[in-house]
């Protein structure tokens, strides 16, 4: 008899994507922030052959598993021009995360996200769970989402890309086309904005930011200028708030660098969280 | 015996607020757009003694009912400075709409909204129903909401204002404090963004705007510069989209002016809608 082991049902992972050198710093700091959060789940990085080998090797020490996937590019110049982000056609590669069927459930996180505290409770959410996008809030932002790996879903997503395409030329337009009923589903599918706090909200509605910032769990640095590109020249009211968020990213990056260059690296000290059963499976990695 | 008539259970109304001359044009065009939509519901305008008498008289012909209420001002300078809108303390007057207990259900609409098609289906929604705010989408935007008039709720809102206050100094911070569970309530409490499409979304996420603009039912001209202040000097990508929305407001305004100066004003021709039972109760007004 060949019974599947318990583990095959219960493996769960955080998944990110890194197709080129520009997102390596982000992926590393994201992984570090997840470890600091005291997560008990595995960390997976999807890569493509467009990522140089020596960079992939460098990234490997930050993740439990590196998975090579084929690059998918919408190549929809018109839609990407409307979005103002000509480089984002390759983010369609993100849908390859559905092929990770060795996991029963996953949380996808963009490489430009920063986890501020333990968010393992996300694995209790159903597919598809995500937070509203502040550009058009009947759409979800595809930088953070809970999903269930499935080859069937992957194939359906590929079909959708071929037949309908992505209305914004990137992964978000495609995923919102495919999961088009998201905004009318039950409340359990709607992640609080604090699980995907796009950094520009700090100046968009400052009173709400000040009121609810203590609840922020994941910060998402959307836009073409990322924290690792250096401090951007903001000319907006509230720039101090955005600068503080950028500083948070750099603090985590410095902490990561200190720990990875130290031959006798300390074991991770999880940040305070509600979770009591922190399983330090990755101490051996350090 | 004194049975209440059927009507006392079924009266429903659209309600707006106009405390000073700056919002008269908005209120008039909103009322006109509602009539053009072929609504079967009554139109109510809340006013305060701060509105000059001759202006109130002018507004009267646009509404079925004018209701004077006491001005409520948060006078919270710090919160309003953070919001960047020092003039909005008086919007707390909006909570007086709960005192309209002659109606069993109402839809509140800011004076800076424009109804593009029949939205009478909103009266099937429970209290409190509203659309997410694009500044912080766990909050609802308080420019459009469905509510049930009740003196008890009104008093509770007054208590909340006194004890907790408004985190943004205006009505939205107060209403979100009071209805703080909104974002986790059932999907029926969440109006699609197309029922409160804040005009800045047209440049915020242009691909989504182009994809979903055909569904837009109510446009909301948030911000200190309203369409009736003349065309604003926009320096943004996508300015044409915002200008087109401003033009829509001016088209409705021109249509309103033509009809109200014409001695033999035509009866309203409702815009195409899903509603078949259009009750032209206000033909006598024209
Ligand atoms: O050339 C690219 C562009 C994007 N990404 C991945 O796709 C995500 C989405 O892109 P981005 O975060 O820049 O989009 P935004 O959140 O700014 O819309 C990134 O975080 C990366 O994980 C990538 O690997 N290579
Ligand atoms: O001095 C004022 C300010 C506001 N309002 C009413 O309160 C609403 C909310 O204000 P506004 O629409 O300017 O706020 P925004 O939507 O720009 O945040 C207006 O539409 C009006 O109905 C009013 O009557 N007098
Ligand atoms: Mn991102
Ligand atoms: Mn308004």
Q: If DSSP codes are grouped into helix, strand and coil, which group holds residue B119?
A: coil
State the pLDDT at residue A260. 84
Using N-to-C axis directions, what is the helix angle for B24-36 and B239-261, rounded to 10°?
Answer: 80
Within 10 A of B8 (CB to CB), how many other CB atoms are there? 11
Alpha helices by DSSP H, chain B? 6-10, 24-36, 53-60, 77-83, 151-163, 171-178, 201-204, 206-212, 239-261
Question: Which two structure tokens, joined as six digits, stand for B2?
Answer: 């004194």
> Which pLDDT value is given to residue A259?
87
Which of A205, A215, A222 to mutate to probe the B interface, most B CBs <10 Å?
Answer: A205
Q: What is the 3-state secondary structure (H, E, C) of chain A?
A: CCCCCHHHHHCEEEEEEECCHHHHHHHHHHHHHHHHCCCCCEEEEEECCCCCHHHHHHHHCCCCEEEECCCCCCCCHHHHHHHCCHHHHHHHHHHHHHHCCCCCEEEEECCCEEECCCCHHHHHCCCCEEEECCCCCCCEEEEEEEECCCHHHHHHHHHHHHHCCCCCCCHHHHHHHHCCCHHHCCHHHECCHHHCEECCHHHHCHHHHHHHHHHCCEEECCCCCCHHHCCCCCCCCCHHHHHHHHHHHHHHHHHHHHHHHCCCCCCCCCCCCCCCCCCCCCHHHC
Chain B residues inside the 8 Å CB shell of A185: 187
What pLDDT is recorded for position B267?
55
Please give the Cα distance from A239 to B274 (Å, whole number): 46
8 A C-beta contact, residue A37 and residue A119: yes
Q: What is the pLDDT of residue B281?
A: 34
Choose the closest CB to B83 out of A168, A169, A207.
A207
Determine contact, residues A104/A9, Cβ cutoff 8 Å: yes
Per the structure block, which two tokens stand in for B161? 């204002």
pLDDT in the model for residue B285: 37
A167: nearest Cα among A155, A154, A178: A178
Q: Say if residues B24 and B18 touch (Cβ distance below 8 Å).
A: yes
* pLDDT per position as a tens digit, A86-100: 999 999 999 999 999
Per-chain residues with Cβ under 5 A from ion ligand 4: B 110, 112, 143
Phi, psi dihedrals of residue A182, rounded to the nearest 5°: -45, -50
- Predicted local distance difference test score (pLDDT) of residue B275: 40
Does the beta-carbon distance from A211 to B133 stay under 8 Å? no
Q: Kindly state whether A138 is in contact with chain B, defined as any CB-CB distance less than 8 angstroms.
A: yes
The total number of residues shown for chain B amounts to 286
Please report the pLDDT score of residue A239 as a whole number: 72
Cross-chain residue pair A190–B173, CB shorter than 8 Å: no
Chain A CB contacts of B136 below 8 Å: 134, 193, 201, 204-205, 208-209, 212
Q: Which residues of chain B neighbour A199 with C-beta distances below 8 Å?
A: none
Q: How far does residue A110's CA lie from ligand 1's centre (Å)?
A: 6
Summarised one tens digit per residue, pLDDT across range A126-144 is: 999 999 999 999 999 999 9
Helix axes B24-36, B53-60, angle to 10 degrees: 10
- What span, in angstroms and rounded, lies between the C-alpha atoms of B66 and B233? 35
pLDDT (0 to 100) of residue B280: 36
The pLDDT value given to residue B154: 98
As given in the structure block, the two tokens for residue A138 are 């009947």
Determine contact, residues B37/B115, Cβ cutoff 8 Å: yes
Predicted pLDDT at A10: 84
* Those residues with Cβ within 8 angstroms of residue A135's Cβ, 6 or more apart along the chain or in another chain: B134, B201, B204, B205, B208
- pTM for the full predicted model: 0.90
pLDDT of the residue at A240: 87
Contact state of B135 with A211 under an 8 Å Cβ cutoff:
no
> Cβ(A43)–Cβ(A34) under 8 Å?
yes
Residue numbers in chain A where pLDDT is lower than 50: 4, 6, 233-235, 263, 265, 273-286
Rg, chain A, Cα only: 18
> In the block, which residue shows the tokens 């909301």?
B220
B85 touches chain A (CB under 8 A): no
Distance CA B238, CA B183 (A): 30
Tens-binned pLDDT, residue by residue, of chain B (286 aa): 555 554 556 899 999 999 999 999 999 999 999 999 999 999 999 999 999 999 999 999 999 999 999 999 999 999 999 999 999 999 999 999 999 999 999 999 999 999 999 999 999 999 999 999 999 999 999 999 999 999 999 999 999 999 999 999 999 999 999 999 999 999 999 999 999 999 988 888 999 999 999 999 999 999 999 999 975 544 455 678 888 999 999 999 999 999 886 545 455 555 554 443 333 333 333 3
Q: Which residues line ligand 2 (CB under 6 A)?
A: B 16-20, 23, 87-88, 90-91, 110-112, 143, 222-223
Residue nearest to atom 4 of ligand 1 (CA): A91
pLDDT of residue B204: 86
Q: Specify the pLDDT at position A187.
A: 96
């Amino acid at each position: 008899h060949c019974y599947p082991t318990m583990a095959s049902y219960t493996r769960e992972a955080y998944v990110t994507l890194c197709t080129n050198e520009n997102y390596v710093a982000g992926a590393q700091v994201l992984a570090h922030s997840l470890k600091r959060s005291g997560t008990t789940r595995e960390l997976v990085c999807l890569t493509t052959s467009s990522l140089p080998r020596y960079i992939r090797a460098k990234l490997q020490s930050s993740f439990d598993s590196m998975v090579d996937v084929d690059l998918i590019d919408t190549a929809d110049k018109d839609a990407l021009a409307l979005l103002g982000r000509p480089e984002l056609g390759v983010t369609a590669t993100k849908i390859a995360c559905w092929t990770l069927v060795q996991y029963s459930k996953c949380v996808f996180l963009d490489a430009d996200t920063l986890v501020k505290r333990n968010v393992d409770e996300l694995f209790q959410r159903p597919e598809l769970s995500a937070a509203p996008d502040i550009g058009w809030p009947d759409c979800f932002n595809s930088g953070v989402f809970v999903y269930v790996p499935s080859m069937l879903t992957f194939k359906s997503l590929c079909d959708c890309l071929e037949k309908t395409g992505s209305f914004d030329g990137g992964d978000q337009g495609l995923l919102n086309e495919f999961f088009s009923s998201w905004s009318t589903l039950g409340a359990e599918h709607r992640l609080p904005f604090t699980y995907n706090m796009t950094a520009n909200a700090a100046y968009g509605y400052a009173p709400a930011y000040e009121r609810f910032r203590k609840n922020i769990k994941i910060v998402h640095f959307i836009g073409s200028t990322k924290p690792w590109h250096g401090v951007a020249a903001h000319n907006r009211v509230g720039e101090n708030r955005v600068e503080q968020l950028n500083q948070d990213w750099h603090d985590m990056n410095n902490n990561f660098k200190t720990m990875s260059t130290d031959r006798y690296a300390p074991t991770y000290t999880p940040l305070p969280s509600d979770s009591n059963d922190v399983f330090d499976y990755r101490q051996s990695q350090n």
